[in-house]
C-alpha cells in the first residue's frame, strides 16, 4: 500500500522533492493588494481592506456581520465572550480538535467538557451530546443549564468541523435549544463547507474562521467572527477594537475591550485569496476524488464528506485498518519525503486538560489510533513545472 501511495502522491504533485501537508497558493492579486497597503502607509488598524474583507466573507457565507480578528483563536475567544461565557463556566466541545479550541476557553477562565465525535463527520456527535447532558446536567429554576453535583453553569456548545467536514448541526441546534445552550461553531477549518446548503459557522449564534497559513485561504495570520445579527456584529466589532467610542480626539472606552483587530496588510492578502477560493475548492474536491479512487477496494477507508453536507476537503484523511498499518504509513511516507500526520492528540491527554469532565470518547479514541492526514495542497495543473 505505502509504496503505491507514495508513487501516487509524487505523480499527483509532479515532483520528487519534499511534499508538505498543506502550503498556501498565491496566484491572484496578493502582491498588488499588499503593496498598495505599503504604498498608502495604511498597513495597520486603518485602511479599506479590513472592511472589504469582512464584506467579502459576509457575502460568501451569507452572514449578517463578520468581524475580522488577528487569528482564529482570537475569533473563538471573542465569539465565546460575546456568547456570555465567563470565568468558571463550562463549555462542551469535542476531544478531537486542534488545541486552539480549548486554549480560547482556558484563557477566559472557562473549562471544556469533552464529548465524543460521530464517525460520519469526525465532529461533535449529537447522540453523545444528548446522552452526556441527560446524565450529567439539569436546568435550574431560571432555566440555566448546570452540571449535576457541582452546579457549575454550562454555557455553550462548540462543535468543530473537522478537516472541513460539517457536523450534523440541526440535531445539535435542537439539543442546544432544549438545554438553553449557545451554539458557537469552530469553523476554523471549514471556509467553503456547507451544511444542507448553509455555510458552516452561520447556523450557531457565532462562528469562528481561521486564515492561518495552513488553512484553505490565508491572511498570514487572521480570523473572523461570524455573527448571527447585525447588532450583535456591531457590538462584537466594538469589543475587538478596544471598545472605543468614536471621537476626533478624545479617548473614551465604555467596556473592557480586546485589541484583536486584523491589520489592513493582512486583510489585503485575504481579499486577494478570496478571489481564488472557488478555484481552491474545485482543486481540493478533485484531489479528494482522486484519493478516494486510489483507496477504493483496499481496506483503507478514505474520509468523505457526510451525505448531508458539502465539504471543502481542507485536509484529506484516510483510516488505516490497524494501529500498526497507521504507524507504517506514517513512517514510510515521511521517510520518502511525503508529509503525512496523525490526527491531534485528544485534548484530555494534554496535561492542562487532563482533569476536565468528559463523556465516553470511544469514536475519538479509535480515530486517534487509525487516522492519517495526507498532502492536501490544491493542485494547480502547472504545480511543480
Ligand atoms: C486553525 C484552527 C483554529 C485557530 O487557529 P489560529 O491559528 O489561531 O488562526 C482553531 N480551531 C481549529 C480547529 C483550527 O484548526
Ligand 1 atom with least separation from CA of 101: 11
> Would you say the CB of residue 164 lies under 6 angstroms from ligand 1?
no
Enumerate the β-bridge partners of residue 301.
319
pLDDT attached to residue 333 = 98
Boundary (domain end) residue, out of 220, 248, 274? 274
- Measure 3 CA to ligand 1 centroid, in angstroms: 32
Closest residue by CA, ligand 1 atom 4 = 72
- The answer to whether residue 381 sits within a structural domain is no
Closest residue by CA, ligand 1 atom 6 = 72
What length does the chain have?
Answer: 385
Same domain, 243 and 330: no
Same domain, 102 and 249: yes
* CATH (domain of 211): 3.40.640.10
- Probe ligand 1: pick from 97, 158, 186, max atoms within 8 Å of CB? 186
Q: How far apart are the C-alpha atoms of 227 and 207, rounded to whole Å?
A: 7
pLDDT attached to residue 380 = 82
pLDDT attached to residue 15 = 94
Same domain, 159 and 83: yes
Same domain, 118 and 246: yes
- Tens-digit pLDDT profile for residues 253-306: 999 999 999 999 999 999 999 999 999 999 999 999 999 999 999 999 999 999
- Measure 112 CA to ligand 1 centroid, in angstroms: 16
Across the chain, where does the E strand assignment appear? 65-69, 90-94, 111-115, 137-139, 145-147, 154-158, 182-186, 194-195, 198-199, 206-210, 223-227, 301-302, 309-310, 316-319, 341-342, 371-374
pLDDT attached to residue 381 = 58
Q: What angle do CA 284, 286, 290 make, to 5 degrees?
A: 115
Ligand 1 atom with least separation from CA of 160: 13
Closest residue by CA, ligand 1 atom 14 = 188
Closest residue by CA, ligand 1 atom 9 = 72
- The answer to whether residue 380 sits within a structural domain is no
Ligand 1 atom with least separation from CA of 221: 9
Same domain, 139 and 12: no
Same domain, 11 and 55: no
- Probe ligand 1: pick from 103, 162, 188, max atoms within 8 Å of CB? 188
- The answer to whether residue 283 sits within a structural domain is yes
CB of 159 closer than 8 Å to CB of 173? no
> Would you say the CB of residue 100 lies under 6 angstroms from ligand 1?
yes
- Probe ligand 1: pick from 106, 210, 219, max atoms within 8 Å of CB? 210
Boundary (domain end) residue, out of 210, 241, 274? 274
Same domain, 176 and 203: yes
- Measure 100 CA to ligand 1 centroid, in angstroms: 6
- The answer to whether residue 238 sits within a structural domain is yes
Average pLDDT, the chain: 97
DSSP state of 123: S
What is the number of structural domains in the chain?
2
Give the structural domain span for 98: 28-274
Same domain, 155 and 133: yes
- Tens-digit pLDDT profile for residues 345-358: 999 999 999 999 99
State how beta strands 316-319 and 145-147 pair: unpaired
pLDDT attached to residue 91 = 98
Please give the backbone phi and psi of residue 84, each rounded to the nearest 5 degrees, phi first.
95, 10
Same domain, 257 and 322: no
> Would you say the CB of residue 73 lies under 6 angstroms from ligand 1?
yes
- The answer to whether residue 382 sits within a structural domain is no
Q: Is the pLDDT of residue 25 over 80?
A: yes
- Tens-digit pLDDT profile for residues 125-159: 999 999 999 999 999 999 999 999 999 999 999 99
* CATH (domain of 331): 3.90.1150.10
> Would you say the CB of residue 6 lies under 6 angstroms from ligand 1?
no
- The conformational region for residue 110 under phi > 0 = left, psi -120 to 50 = alpha, else beta, is beta
- Tens-digit pLDDT profile for residues 198-241: 999 999 999 999 999 999 999 999 999 999 999 999 999 999 99
> Would you say the CB of residue 185 lies under 6 angstroms from ligand 1?
no
Same domain, 46 and 91: yes
Percent helix, percent strand, percent coil in the chain, to nearest 5 = 40, 20, 45
> Would you say the CB of residue 219 lies under 6 angstroms from ligand 1?
no
Boundary (domain end) residue, out of 257, 274, 291? 274
> Would you say the CB of residue 188 lies under 6 angstroms from ligand 1?
yes
Ligand 1 atom with least separation from CA of 214: 1
Q: Which grid cell is 83? A: 456568547
Burial of 245 (0-12, 13-18, 19+ CB in 10 A): exposed
Same domain, 269 and 292: no
Contacts of 12 (CB under 8 A, 6+ apart): 287, 290, 379
- The answer to whether residue 385 sits within a structural domain is no
> Would you say the CB of residue 212 lies under 6 angstroms from ligand 1?
yes
Amino acid at each position: 500500500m505505502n509504496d503505491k501511495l507514495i508513487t501516487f502522491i509524487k505523480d499527483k504533485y509532479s515532483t520528487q522533492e519534499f511534499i508538505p501537508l498543506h502550503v498556501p497558493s498565491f496566484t491572484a492579486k496578493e502582491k498588488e493588494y499588499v503593496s498598495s497597503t505599503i504604498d498608502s502607509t495604511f498597513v495597520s488598524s486603518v485602511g479599506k481592506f479590513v472592511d472589504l474583507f469582512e464584506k467579502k466573507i459576509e457575502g460568501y457565507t451569507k452572514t449578517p456581520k463578520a468581524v475580522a480578528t488577528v487569528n482564529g483563536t482570537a475569533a473563538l475567544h471573542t465569539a465565546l465572550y460575546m456568547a456570555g461565557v465567563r470565568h468558571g463556566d463550562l463549555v462542551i466541545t469535542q476531544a478531537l480538535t486542534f488545541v486552539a479550541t480549548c486554549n480560547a476557553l482556558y484563557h477566559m477562565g472557562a473549562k471544556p467538557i469533552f464529548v465524543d465525535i460521530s464517525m460520519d463527520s469526525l465532529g461533535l456527535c449529537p447522540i453523545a451530546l444528548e446522552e452526556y447532558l441527560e446524565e450529567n446536567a439539569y436546568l435550574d429554576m431560571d432555566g440555566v443549564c448546570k452540571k449535576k453535583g457541582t452546579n457549575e453553569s454550562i454555557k455553550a456548545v462548540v462543535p468543530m468541523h473537522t478537516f472541513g467536514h460539517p457536523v450534523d448541526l440541526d440535531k445539535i441546534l435542537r439539543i442546544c435549544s432544549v438545554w438553553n445552550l449557545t451554539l458557537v461553531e469552530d469553523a476554523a477549518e471549514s471556509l467553503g463547507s456547507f451544511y444542507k446548503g448553509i455555510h458552516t459557522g452561520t447556523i450557531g449564534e457565532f462562528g469562528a474562521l481561521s486564515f492561518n497559513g495552513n488553512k484553505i485561504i490565508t491572511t498570514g495570520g487572521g480570523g473572523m467572527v461570524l455573527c448571527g445579527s447585525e447588532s450583535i456584529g456591531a457590538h462584537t466589532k466594538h469589543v475587538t477594537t478596544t471598545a472605543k467610542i468614536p471621537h476626533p480626539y478624545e479617548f473614551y472606552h465604555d467596556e473592557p475591550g480586546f485589541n484583536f483587530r486584523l491589520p489592513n496588510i493582512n486583510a489585503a492578502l485575504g481579499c486577494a485569496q478570496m478571489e481564488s477560493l472557488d478555484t481552491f475548492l474545485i482543486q481540493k474536491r478533485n484531489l479528494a476524488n482522486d484519493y478516494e479512487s486510489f483507496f477504493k477496494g483496499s481496506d483503507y477507508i478514505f474520509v468523505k464528506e457526510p451525505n448531508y453536507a458539502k465539504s471543502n476537503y481542507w485536509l484529506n484523511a484516510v483510516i488505516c485498518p490497524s494501529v500498526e498499518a497507521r504507524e507504517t504509513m506514517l513512517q514510510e511516507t515521511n521517510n520518502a519525503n511525503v508529509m503525512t500526520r496523525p490526527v491531534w492528540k485528544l485534548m484530555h491527554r494534554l496535561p492542562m486538560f487532563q482533569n476536565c469532565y468528559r463523556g465516553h470518547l470511544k469514536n475519538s479514541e479509535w480515530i486517534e489510533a487509525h487516522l492519517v492526514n495526507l498532502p492536501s495542497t490544491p493542485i494547480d495543473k502547472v504545480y511543480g513545472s
